[in-house]
Amino acid sequence: MMNNADEQFEKLGLILPPAPQPLGAYKPCLIEGNRLYLSGHLPMQTNSKPITGRIGSDLDMEAGKLAARQAGLTMLATIKSHLGSLNKVKRVIKIFGMVNCTPDFTRQPYILNGCSELFADVWGNDHGVGTRSAAGFGSLPDNVPVEIEGIFELAE
């Protein structure tokens, strides 16, 4: 039996930032069949301002991992605001993380663990851990440390 993601979220005592509104010609999420596609999400704080900084110069690895967790919370805010419940997600299929980092930084997968571990905490290891890619970038919008997009399978 699948765990209750909404109850699990409450037990973790996490706080969602406000779900971001698009600032361009795109949708934050799109449902096609039983798939939910999320656009790239930034690490938004509860005051609606993003965490900023480049990993390897402004931020260390742990701060980068926390930023990826915050981007994951922002993704959860979008899911909850559009679907009404985290329980409507059956499983994480894939997340793709872009890491704003110095050219010599090579630990992008470690940074993305911040988001992956959050999803595992919410949906459990069987449903919360999917496939993943992590890539380093020379810059990201508003100088955020990470931007993460995702694909999810919806419950019947």
- Please give the model's pTM, rounded to 2 decimal places: 0.96
Residue 1 has pLDDT above 90, yes or no: no
Contacts of 84 (CB under 8 A, 6+ apart): none
Residue 41 near residue 73, CB atoms below 8 Å = no
| CATH T-level assignment (fold) for domain 5-10+27-154 | 60s Ribosomal Protein L30; Chain: A; (3.30.1330)
The pLDDT tens digits for 53-107 are: 999 999 999 999 999 999 999 999 999 999 999 999 999 999 999 999 999 999 9
For the four alpha carbons of 153, 90, 80 and 53, in that order, the dihedral sign comes to negative
Domain ranges, ordered by start, for the chain: 5-10+27-154
